[in-house]
Structures are given as C-alpha cells and as structure tokens.
Amino acid sequence: MKISEKANQICQTYYAKQCGVCTIRKECVAYVGLGQEGFVRWVLAVNKAADRQ
C-alpha cells in the first residue's frame, strides 16, 4: 500500500507552507492506528481525499 502520486503531489505543493491550507491535511495528520491494518486505512483515507481534489 502506497500513497498515491496525486496525494504526493498535493503534499509537495503545501509542505513548504507548513501544510496550513493543504486540502488533504485533515486525513494526513489523523491518527494512523495500530499495525498494518491501521496504516492501510490511513493510506486509503489520504488517497481518497486526494482523489476528491
């Protein structure tokens, strides 16, 4: 499971600005959860948020 290219591009756009107005920040800074399952849920949420852009 990987962060999508679109999510990565959004991150690169906003990271230099401290992520303050980033459109996927809410999902990005959310609690990841325990284990591989938590990580997979987090990645899916970040990728889904990026796809909505």
How does pLDDT run across 1-53, given as a tens digit for each residue?
899 999 999 999 998 888 888 999 999 999 999 999 999 999 999 999 999 98
- Give me the number of domains the chain comprises: 1
Output the pLDDT for position 18: 86
Output the pLDDT for position 32: 94
The parent domain of residue 39 ranges over: 5-51
Q: What is the DSSP string of 1-53?
A: ----HHHHHHHHHHHTTTTTT-TTHHHHTS---SHHHHHHHHHHHHHHHHHT-
